[in-house]
Amino acid sequence: MTSASNDAVTAAILVIGDEILSGRTKDRNIGTIADYLTAVGIDLREVRIVPDERAMIVEAVNALRARYTYLFTTGGIGPTHDDITADCIAEAFGVPIDVDPRARAMLLERIKPEDLNAARLRMARIPEGADLIPNPISKAPGFRIGNVHVMAGVPAIMQAMLDQIGPSLRTGGRVISETIEVGNMPEGAYASELAAIAGAHAGVSIGSYPSMTESGFLNRIVVRGRDGAAITAARSEIEALIARLRA
Amino acid sequence: MTSASNDAVTAAILVIGDEILSGRTKDRNIGTIADYLTAVGIDLREVRIVPDERAMIVEAVNALRARYTYLFTTGGIGPTHDDITADCIAEAFGVPIDVDPRARAMLLERIKPEDLNAARLRMARIPEGADLIPNPISKAPGFRIGNVHVMAGVPAIMQAMLDQIGPSLRTGGRVISETIEVGNMPEGAYASELAAIAGAHAGVSIGSYPSMTESGFLNRIVVRGRDGAAITAARSEIEALIARLRA
């Protein structure tokens, strides 16, 4: 990472693709990127999923890139007619788009010159002014323009691109997350006192998360923040609360 | 379903919760709701994930409910301080919110009167004018107000609420989806001719979806639409194209 500071660095994800909205494909990229950003101290603040439609993609790109430090998109950069992400990014930024010689050279590492037809050349169309994100798996690159990182939708390729991007990202203070296992004590038994603790510890974020198992609810309280001492203080109060309620 | 017509019925999903954005919890509700809506002929057009923050929830609710036939939200209706969905929905609609006697009665099916503390009563706070969505698992209800359906985040409870809502939804013509297995033929080999077929069959939506397996890419072409004859016509042309390219 180029630097680490206490300034909040924020991000959004835009997933582009009809196949996610129809349920045909189950997205796995959101969770992967969320984990990655959290690990390097970047706050993921919003995710949107939109269909392969120009107006919706352009609107979402412009809304999200204006609002957050970074925007990461996945999907829509292949060779077929429904792959329109690069054109939409160019439109959102108001820049021309054409075949980029660097991207064309990358494609030729995998595709024979005689097979580099018009459709495949679509994968080398890159908005003017963008930097390329190499694709070690199938060569067709992603790109970065301004604060927007455009990545493939196939999870293995997205992951490889994210690994390439990582070192260039400005990161925030690392977020520490600590979990207090509450077991089957109902949320309603501790909610009022937990709210009071949360109110008294403004520097940390405290959440209560129920999950269901075969034997009933299982609750966890999570304390998150960037200040280790503040987390320890809140955690101690929560543990004392739970112990008192158990007694 | 109350009716079926050829009018497009559209929907959005709003997932509310810090735990999804941090990566701590991997969302499973989007895929479930997407499958459900597709099966009944409702077009899922957009998904957003936002944190447990009032301004962001209210803005997203108002943007999405204005734009689509239905909005489905998940998460943030428990008893703890970070569960603020019901209050945000009331604010978005500009209506008061208070403990609803019907919801309170539902909670009392599971919670002893002496245990119905202030925190648990939060789960009975329902915006004025809303209908309740029963929760057969843990009793705390969801609700519907206008075109917005507010559901729990725990997947099993969300599913149970969706099953309750289903019969009340207006549905569109059933969408038919047919898949043509292309195997390891590269997308770039058929993309140009597929684009021509897609251009000539405006009544259907044609997508090409690569996935990666251990032995390389595996491509599928999917034809979707509401007109069986139109799908068959497009499908035949695509199958002829693939057969010709294989020969």
Q: Quick check: A13 pLDDT over 90?
A: yes
Give the closest-approach CA distance of A163 to chain B in angstroms: 17
Q: Quick check: B117 pLDDT over 60?
A: yes
Residue A80 contacts B, CB cutoff 8 Å: yes
Which of A46, A192, A207 lies closest to B119 in CB terms? A192
Contact residues on chain B for A199, CB-CB shorter than 8 A: 81
Q: Which two tokens stand for residue A8?
A: 């909040």
Q: What is the mean pLDDT of residues B171-196?
A: 93
Strands B205-213 and A42-50: unpaired
Q: Quick check: A6 pLDDT over 60?
A: no
Domains recognised in chain A with CATH numbers:
9-168 (3.40.980.10), 176-246 (3.30.1370.10)
Counting Cβ atoms within 10 Å, is residue B221 exposed (0-12), middle (13-18) or buried (19+)? Answer: buried
Would you call A34 and B20 a contact, using CB atoms and an 8 Å cutoff?
yes
Name the residue with tokens 């994800």.
A13
Tell me how far apart the alpha carbons of residues A228 and A222 are, in angstroms, rounded to a whole number: 14
- AA letter at B47: V
Contact residues on chain B for A210, CB-CB shorter than 8 A: 78, 154
Q: Rounded to whole angstroms, what are the CA distances from B163 to A21, B39, B65, B124, B156? A: 19, 13, 21, 21, 11
Q: What is the mean pLDDT of residues B38-55?
A: 96
Q: What is the mean pLDDT of residues B162-172?
A: 93
Q: Which two tokens stand for residue B128?
A: 């004025």
Sign of CA dihedral B68, B74, B76, B77: positive
What average pLDDT does the structure give for chain B?
A: 94
The answer to whether the beta carbons of residues B22 and A224 sit under 8 Å apart is yes
Tell me how far apart the alpha carbons of residues B180 and A90 are, in angstroms, rounded to a whole number: 32
Residue A226 contacts B, CB cutoff 8 Å: no
Could you tell me which of A119, A149, A154 has the C-alpha nearest to residue A138?
Answer: A154
pLDDT value at residue A175:
85
